[in-house]
Amino acid sequence: SAVISQKPSRDICQRGTSLTIQCQVDSQVTMMFWYRQQPGQSLTLIATANQGSEATYESGFVIDKFPISRPNLTFSTLTVSNMSPEDSSIYLCSVDSREQFFGPGTRLTVL
Amino acid sequence: EDQVTQSPEALRLQEGESSSLNCSYTVSGLRGLFWYRQDPGKGPEFLFTLYSAGEEKEKERLKATLTKKESFLHITAPKPEDSATYLCAVGKSGSEKLVFGKGTKLTVNP
Protein backbone atom coordinates (compact mmCIF):
# COMPACT_ATOMS: atom_id res chain seq x y z
CA SER A 1 0.00 0.00 0.00
CA ALA A 2 0.99 3.63 -0.48
CA VAL A 3 1.23 6.31 2.19
CA ILE A 4 -0.34 9.55 1.01
CA SER A 5 -0.26 12.96 2.65
CA GLN A 6 -2.21 16.09 1.79
CA LYS A 7 -1.71 19.74 2.64
CA PRO A 8 -3.51 21.64 3.99
CA SER A 9 -5.72 19.35 6.05
CA ARG A 10 -8.37 22.06 6.21
CA ASP A 11 -8.85 25.67 5.24
CA ILE A 12 -11.45 28.40 5.36
CA CYS A 13 -11.36 30.70 2.34
CA GLN A 14 -13.16 33.75 1.06
CA ARG A 15 -15.34 33.75 -2.02
CA GLY A 16 -13.41 34.56 -5.21
CA THR A 17 -10.02 33.37 -3.97
CA SER A 18 -8.09 30.23 -4.98
CA LEU A 19 -6.59 27.39 -2.95
CA THR A 20 -3.92 24.92 -4.00
CA ILE A 21 -3.99 21.47 -2.40
CA GLN A 22 -0.85 19.34 -2.39
CA CYS A 23 -0.69 15.55 -2.51
CA GLN A 24 2.53 13.65 -1.76
CA VAL A 25 3.01 9.87 -2.10
CA ASP A 26 5.79 7.82 -0.53
CA SER A 27 6.45 5.84 -3.71
CA GLN A 28 6.39 6.45 -7.45
CA VAL A 29 2.98 5.94 -9.02
CA THR A 30 1.76 6.32 -12.57
CA MET A 31 -1.74 7.56 -11.94
CA MET A 32 -3.07 9.96 -9.34
CA PHE A 33 -6.70 10.90 -8.95
CA TRP A 34 -8.52 13.84 -7.45
CA TYR A 35 -11.98 13.39 -5.92
CA ARG A 36 -14.53 15.68 -4.34
CA GLN A 37 -16.81 14.59 -1.50
CA GLN A 38 -19.58 17.07 -0.83
CA PRO A 39 -21.42 17.02 2.49
CA GLY A 40 -23.52 13.87 2.79
CA GLN A 41 -22.47 12.68 -0.65
CA SER A 42 -20.12 10.07 -1.96
CA LEU A 43 -16.90 10.54 -3.84
CA THR A 44 -16.98 12.10 -7.30
CA LEU A 45 -13.94 11.90 -9.55
CA ILE A 46 -12.70 15.30 -10.70
CA ALA A 47 -9.75 14.30 -12.86
CA THR A 48 -6.96 11.81 -13.45
CA ALA A 49 -3.41 13.13 -13.38
CA ASN A 50 -0.61 11.33 -15.21
CA GLN A 51 2.96 12.52 -15.02
CA GLY A 52 4.10 14.22 -18.19
CA SER A 53 0.68 14.71 -19.72
CA GLU A 54 -2.39 16.88 -19.34
CA ALA A 55 -4.89 15.84 -16.71
CA THR A 56 -8.09 14.16 -17.91
CA TYR A 57 -11.21 15.79 -16.51
CA GLU A 58 -14.57 14.16 -15.86
CA SER A 59 -17.84 15.54 -17.14
CA GLY A 60 -18.80 18.65 -15.21
CA PHE A 61 -15.24 19.60 -14.24
CA VAL A 62 -13.04 21.97 -16.27
CA ILE A 63 -9.38 22.86 -16.23
CA ASP A 64 -9.98 26.57 -15.68
CA LYS A 65 -11.79 25.85 -12.43
CA PHE A 66 -9.62 22.92 -11.23
CA PRO A 67 -6.13 23.20 -12.73
CA ILE A 68 -3.92 20.24 -11.86
CA SER A 69 -0.16 19.84 -11.91
CA ARG A 70 1.79 16.56 -11.89
CA PRO A 71 5.48 17.49 -11.97
CA ASN A 72 6.82 14.04 -10.97
CA LEU A 73 5.74 10.52 -10.02
CA THR A 74 5.24 11.28 -6.31
CA PHE A 75 3.51 14.67 -6.26
CA SER A 76 0.44 16.48 -7.58
CA THR A 77 -1.50 19.65 -6.87
CA LEU A 78 -5.14 20.59 -7.37
CA THR A 79 -6.14 24.24 -7.42
CA VAL A 80 -9.72 25.27 -6.71
CA SER A 81 -10.07 28.61 -8.50
CA ASN A 82 -12.42 31.53 -8.03
CA MET A 83 -14.13 29.74 -5.18
CA SER A 84 -17.79 29.99 -4.23
CA PRO A 85 -19.62 28.46 -1.24
CA GLU A 86 -20.67 25.57 -3.51
CA ASP A 87 -17.01 24.49 -3.61
CA SER A 88 -17.10 23.70 0.10
CA SER A 89 -16.19 20.00 0.16
CA ILE A 90 -13.59 17.49 1.13
CA TYR A 91 -11.00 17.08 -1.61
CA LEU A 92 -9.17 13.76 -1.74
CA CYS A 93 -6.27 12.50 -3.77
CA SER A 94 -5.72 8.84 -4.44
CA VAL A 95 -3.20 6.62 -6.19
CA ASP A 96 -3.71 3.37 -8.03
CA SER A 97 -1.43 0.42 -7.33
CA ARG A 98 -3.88 -2.39 -8.15
CA GLU A 99 -6.18 -0.96 -5.48
CA GLN A 100 -6.79 2.75 -4.97
CA PHE A 101 -5.45 4.22 -1.77
CA PHE A 102 -6.59 7.57 -0.51
CA GLY A 103 -5.04 10.50 1.26
CA PRO A 104 -6.57 11.94 4.44
CA GLY A 105 -8.40 14.69 2.54
CA THR A 106 -8.53 18.47 2.62
CA ARG A 107 -11.66 19.98 4.16
CA LEU A 108 -12.42 23.25 2.39
CA THR A 109 -14.97 25.78 3.61
CA VAL A 110 -15.74 28.78 1.41
CA LEU A 111 -17.45 31.75 3.01
CA GLU B 1 -24.21 4.34 -17.36
CA ASP B 2 -22.25 2.71 -14.54
CA GLN B 3 -24.12 2.88 -11.25
CA VAL B 4 -23.61 1.82 -7.66
CA THR B 5 -26.45 1.79 -5.11
CA GLN B 6 -25.87 1.04 -1.46
CA SER B 7 -28.48 0.10 1.11
CA PRO B 8 -29.45 0.86 3.73
CA GLU B 9 -28.26 4.47 3.95
CA ALA B 10 -27.86 4.09 7.70
CA LEU B 11 -27.85 1.10 10.03
CA ARG B 12 -27.85 0.99 13.81
CA LEU B 13 -26.82 -2.26 15.50
CA GLN B 14 -26.29 -3.36 19.04
CA GLU B 15 -22.87 -4.73 19.83
CA GLY B 16 -22.82 -8.39 18.81
CA GLU B 17 -25.80 -8.06 16.45
CA SER B 18 -24.68 -9.36 13.04
CA SER B 19 -26.00 -7.85 9.81
CA SER B 20 -25.23 -7.22 6.15
CA LEU B 21 -24.75 -4.17 3.94
CA ASN B 22 -25.77 -4.31 0.30
CA CYS B 23 -24.12 -2.87 -2.81
CA SER B 24 -25.96 -3.24 -6.12
CA TYR B 25 -24.12 -2.31 -9.27
CA THR B 26 -24.43 -2.04 -13.03
CA VAL B 27 -21.27 -1.79 -15.06
CA SER B 28 -20.30 -2.85 -18.56
CA GLY B 29 -17.34 -5.07 -17.79
CA LEU B 30 -16.36 -5.35 -14.14
CA ARG B 31 -12.68 -4.86 -13.34
CA GLY B 32 -13.26 -5.13 -9.61
CA LEU B 33 -15.67 -4.36 -6.76
CA PHE B 34 -14.04 -2.42 -3.93
CA TRP B 35 -15.07 -1.89 -0.31
CA TYR B 36 -13.75 0.96 1.78
CA ARG B 37 -14.28 2.14 5.33
CA GLN B 38 -14.41 5.88 6.02
CA ASP B 39 -14.21 7.39 9.48
CA PRO B 40 -15.39 10.98 10.05
CA GLY B 41 -12.81 13.52 8.88
CA LYS B 42 -10.61 10.90 7.22
CA GLY B 43 -10.00 9.50 3.78
CA PRO B 44 -11.42 6.11 2.76
CA GLU B 45 -9.48 3.10 4.03
CA PHE B 46 -9.20 0.16 1.64
CA LEU B 47 -10.81 -3.08 2.84
CA PHE B 48 -11.36 -5.55 -0.01
CA THR B 49 -11.31 -6.07 -3.75
CA LEU B 50 -13.52 -8.73 -5.34
CA TYR B 51 -12.94 -9.62 -8.96
CA SER B 52 -15.44 -12.29 -9.96
CA ALA B 53 -18.83 -13.67 -8.96
CA GLY B 54 -18.59 -16.20 -6.17
CA GLU B 55 -15.48 -14.68 -4.68
CA GLU B 56 -15.38 -14.05 -0.92
CA LYS B 57 -12.87 -12.26 1.27
CA GLU B 58 -12.65 -11.91 5.04
CA LYS B 59 -10.95 -9.56 7.44
CA GLU B 60 -11.60 -9.85 11.16
CA ARG B 61 -15.38 -9.42 11.62
CA LEU B 62 -15.98 -8.44 7.98
CA LYS B 63 -16.74 -10.74 5.06
CA ALA B 64 -17.38 -9.50 1.54
CA THR B 65 -19.14 -11.55 -1.14
CA LEU B 66 -19.85 -10.89 -4.82
CA THR B 67 -22.50 -11.93 -7.33
CA LYS B 68 -23.01 -10.69 -10.87
CA LYS B 69 -25.30 -7.91 -9.68
CA GLU B 70 -24.45 -7.15 -6.07
CA SER B 71 -22.02 -7.44 -3.23
CA PHE B 72 -22.65 -7.91 0.45
CA LEU B 73 -20.52 -6.85 3.36
CA HIS B 74 -21.36 -9.11 6.28
CA ILE B 75 -20.48 -7.91 9.75
CA THR B 76 -20.34 -10.62 12.39
CA ALA B 77 -20.68 -9.71 16.07
CA PRO B 78 -19.82 -6.05 15.48
CA LYS B 79 -18.11 -3.86 18.06
CA PRO B 80 -18.49 -0.10 18.58
CA GLU B 81 -15.15 0.44 16.81
CA ASP B 82 -16.75 -0.91 13.62
CA SER B 83 -18.86 2.25 13.48
CA ALA B 84 -18.02 4.07 10.24
CA THR B 85 -19.36 4.74 6.76
CA TYR B 86 -18.77 1.81 4.42
CA LEU B 87 -18.31 2.70 0.76
CA CYS B 88 -18.64 0.42 -2.23
CA ALA B 89 -17.08 1.21 -5.62
CA VAL B 90 -16.80 -0.48 -8.99
CA GLY B 91 -14.00 -0.33 -11.48
CA LYS B 92 -14.66 -0.83 -15.15
CA SER B 93 -12.56 -3.00 -17.43
CA GLY B 94 -9.99 -0.96 -19.32
CA SER B 95 -10.23 1.97 -16.92
CA GLU B 96 -8.57 2.87 -13.65
CA LYS B 97 -11.52 5.01 -12.57
CA LEU B 98 -13.82 4.06 -9.72
CA VAL B 99 -17.53 4.82 -9.39
CA PHE B 100 -18.64 5.07 -5.77
CA GLY B 101 -21.95 4.50 -4.04
CA LYS B 102 -23.20 6.92 -1.41
CA GLY B 103 -22.23 4.65 1.43
CA THR B 104 -23.88 3.04 4.45
CA LYS B 105 -23.36 4.74 7.78
CA LEU B 106 -23.03 2.03 10.41
CA THR B 107 -23.43 2.77 14.10
CA VAL B 108 -22.75 0.03 16.64
CA ASN B 109 -24.00 0.78 20.12
CA PRO B 110 -22.34 -0.80 23.17
Residue A83 sits in a domain of what CATH number? 2.60.40.10
List of chain B residues whose C-beta atoms are within 8 Å of the C-beta of residue A48? 96-97
The verdict on residue B104 lying in a domain is: no
The count of domains in chain B is 1
Is-contact B19 B11, C-beta < 8 A?
yes
B78 in contact with chain A, both atoms CB, cutoff 8 A = no
Task: For B43-74, write each residue's pLDDT tens digit.
Answer: 999 999 999 999 999 999 999 999 999 999 99
What are the counts of helices (DSSP H) followed by strands (DSSP E) for chain B?
0, 11
List of chain A residues whose C-beta atoms are within 8 Å of the C-beta of residue B46? 1, 99-102
The predicted model gives B81-105 an average pLDDT of: 93
- Cβ–Cβ below 8 Å for B44 and A43: yes
Is-contact B76 B84, C-beta < 8 A?
no
The count of domains in chain A is 1
Sorting pLDDT into bands at 50, 70 and 90, what band is B105? very high
Q: How confident is chain A (111 residues) per 10-residue block, as mean pLDDT?
A: 92 97 94 92 92 90 96 95 96 87 96 96
**What is the predicted pLDDT for the residue at A41?**
86
Range of the domain at B25: 3-94
